Structure 1
Amino acid sequence: MNRKWTAAAAAVSGMVLTLSACGGGADGTSAGGDYPSEDMDWTIAFGPGGGNDIMARTMVDILQKNDLYPENIVVENKEGGSGATGWGYLFGQSGTGYGISTTSGSFITTPLQADTGWEPTDFTPVGLMAADYALLMTAGDGEWSTYDEWVEYAKSKGTVAVGGIGTVNVDYIVQQMVADANGYKIDYVPYNEEGQMQTSLLSGAIDAMISNPGSIMGQIEGGQMNALLFTGPERLDALADVPTAEEEGISDIPSMPRGLILPPDAPEEAQQWWIDTMKEVVTTPEWQDYLDENYLLKDEKWGEDFTAYLDDTQSSFEEQLTELGAL
């Protein structure tokens, strides 16, 4: 399923996907006072193929299959600026209940290092639904197929070129924490889109990259990529030989928060409708399949509990990034 999702996402790059029935009004308010009664504008703040894109399209697919949203859902990738473009677009829909977007680590870290004009807590929270951990990857035909071999090479070279999604993001934190633990330096190269980063790794433009298991498992199984290190709490059954960061003496590596938000000041009826509906979504077999097949851990926080989580996590990330010298 991972390979199919990645291929499907790549096929729709720059395209708009319209689902379900016909739409309603255009002023962001409920026609007839009943929510929902209009088309939903679903923004993905990164390009196709990555963890954010896969999650968003999984959610939309479940909503469609179970007839949970009565109008059209229009899904569009608006990548750029480590998520700032897409979430800035959603921020501009303030006061409406008909814009929505999924979150990632960049949703928390991008405002720390750029003048986005918004903070994570400005948006109307729906919920956190899962935690996504990461893999440190090298090219399948490279000289380093294990973590120990990678560390030996990186230390001998002194500075290595590594990639991740977003500039100052969870991917950067992971790369820097691994480098600091082993005494080498990194030249971090940020990407907006998973496919570009994979191309750079396979061409030798970068030495290693960070990716989520659900985005990269197909390439690992096909021999194109080597998984060296997993940041989750336990080894993956599918990659039993790949050590965890904790096993290698690297503690407190953050995960990628997978959640859902509405624009700032969205109507209360819209927020409550989405909370109630997503609580249905996460009980479906399809959602459990998504968690299992993409190696995510269930982590649910709804409404204001999600806002409190975002606030606390941003403070933690700011402290970590300051210690790492990125802020």
Structure 2
Amino acid sequence: MTFTETRAASGRAAVAAAFATVMLAASPAMAQEYPDPGETLDWTIAFGPGGGNDIMARTIVDILNTYDLYPGDIAVENRAGGSGAVGWGHLFGQAGSGYGISTTSGSFVTTPLQADTPWQPADFTPVALLATDDLVLVVNGSSPIQTIDEFIAYAQENPITIAGTGTVNVDFIVPTLFAQAAGFEFEYVSFNSMADQTTALLSSSVDAMVGNPGEILGLIDSGDLRALVYSGSSTPAALEGVPTMGEVGHDIGVSMPRGLILPPDAPAEAQEWWIATMQRVVETPEWAAYIENNTLTPTVLYGEEFRAFLTRTQDGFGEVLRSVGAIQ
């Protein structure tokens, strides 16, 4: 081989090696870049401290930390307001990023139905539906009302107020459908957090409220609150003796979806990483304890199946809200 041919061959080999290096960096390495340990994960909780959304988010973060599943720092912040619109609007503004994340609730589906939000549930990058939950109707423990039948009879003759978290959402839909079926009317009073509405009930500022049992079981067990009826298909062990709405003749068939989402157009590798990670999270004993302690139903769907679920749920909720005149 001549000197010139040797130089040409060496040049071709160098180019080939360089090209191979570039291709290696552009494929497997790129897929392994997420998550970057140097990037802080911005975890938004769209409601105040102490509510079901807050409890679920912090449970997941605790599990991630306990098992070292996320390599970087996680900054958790409550961004309450507008029945979740403030928090999820913040996440929506992070479009294209893999380092924003949030948990969902019923308001994630209902808020866009009654407010002029720039986003719809299907706009976000779906990670997983993790559970569904139902609500319990409670009164102050000092109330003379002892049973749901007494509550209905009283409400049929007197103006009453029922509190819930958010405005036109599951907390509104559940008592509205129940009241229609049972033949009474009420004024709905909305709060931004479970803590605020519980304070209102304990101070007798409202007559009753709805909430996830797991958020208020301590107050029920202590007698500060009295549980009257449960909206699910069967009463959990923690509420033994409390009838379901179906058992008293007024089944409404509405549950609240709890899931995990990333910003719109998040990188595919971020979505894939979070799906794989949540598959590990839901297998931990800590998650099983969370499900049991908060009387949730484990209902798991990943990725696009979760997006389809959100669309179906929003269509169903919209039909209910239009039927009662809550939205146009």
Same fold (TM over 0.5): yes
Partner of residue 62, structure 1: 63
Determine if the alignment matches structure 1 residue 34 to structure 2 residue 33: yes
Q: Equivalent residue of 1:210, what SS?
A: strand
**What amino acid does structure 1 have at the position aligned with 2:165?**
I
Partner of residue 103, structure 1: 104
Partner of residue 114, structure 1: 115
Q: Distance in 1 between matches of 2:120 and 2:146?
A: 40
**What amino acid does structure 1 have at the position aligned with 2:119?**
W
Q: Equivalent residue of 2:143, what SS?
A: coil
Determine if the alignment matches structure 1 residue 275 to structure 2 residue 265: no
- 1:129-168 to structure 2, matched below 5 A, reads 129-157=130-158, 159-168=159-168
Partner of residue 181, structure 1: 181
Give 1:181 deviation, angstroms: 1.4
- 8 Å contact kept, 2:177–2:252: no
C-alpha spacing 1:149/1:324, structure 2 compared with 1 (3 Å): same
- 8 Å contact kept, 2:52–2:212: yes
Identity %: 55
Q: Distance in 1 between matches of 2:109 and 2:318?
A: 9
Q: Distance in 2 between matches of 1:299 and 1:238?
A: 19
Q: Equivalent residue of 1:185, what SS?
A: coil
**What amino acid does structure 2 have at the position aligned with 1:136?**
L
C-alpha spacing 1:151/1:252, structure 2 compared with 1 (3 Å): closer
Q: TM-score, normalised by structure 2?
A: 0.89
Q: Distance in 2 between matches of 1:182 and 1:124?
A: 39
- More helix by proportion, 1 or 2? 2
- 1:194-273 to structure 2, matched below 5 A, reads 194-273=194-273
- 1:5-16 to structure 2, matched below 5 A, reads none
**What amino acid does structure 1 have at the position aligned with 2:106?**
G
Q: Distance in 1 between matches of 2:110 and 2:31?
A: 39
- 8 Å contact kept, 2:231–2:251: no
Which residues of structure 2 form unaligned runs of 5+?
1-28
What CA deviation, in whole Å up to 9, does each residue of 1:252-275 have, x standing for no partner? Answer: 331110100000000000000000
Give 1:69 deviation, angstroms: 0.2
Give 1:33 deviation, angstroms: 6.0
Q: Distance in 2 between matches of 1:31 and 1:188?
A: 51
Give 1:177 deviation, angstroms: 1.1
What CA deviation, in whole Å up to 9, does each residue of 1:260-317 have, x standing for no partner? Answer: 0000000000000000000000000100010011110110110000000000000000
Q: Distance in 2 between matches of 1:163 and 1:316?
A: 23
Give 1:41 deviation, angstroms: 0.4
Structure 1 outlier segments of 4+, above 4 Å: 30-33
Q: Distance in 1 between matches of 2:248 and 2:265?
A: 44
Q: Distance in 1 between matches of 2:31 and 2:314?
A: 39
- 8 Å contact kept, 2:178–2:252: no
- Equivalenced residues, count: 297
- 1:37-52 to structure 2, matched below 5 A, reads 37=36, 38-52=39-53
Q: Distance in 1 between matches of 2:238 and 2:105?
A: 24
Give 1:145 deviation, angstroms: 2.2
Determine if the alignment matches structure 1 residue 94 to structure 2 residue 91: no
Partner of residue 311, structure 1: 311
Q: TM-score, normalised by structure 1?
A: 0.89
Q: Equivalent residue of 1:310, what SS?
A: helix
Q: Distance in 1 between matches of 2:31 and 2:52?
A: 37
- 1:12-27 to structure 2, matched below 5 A, reads none
Q: Distance in 2 between matches of 1:149 and 1:77?
A: 38
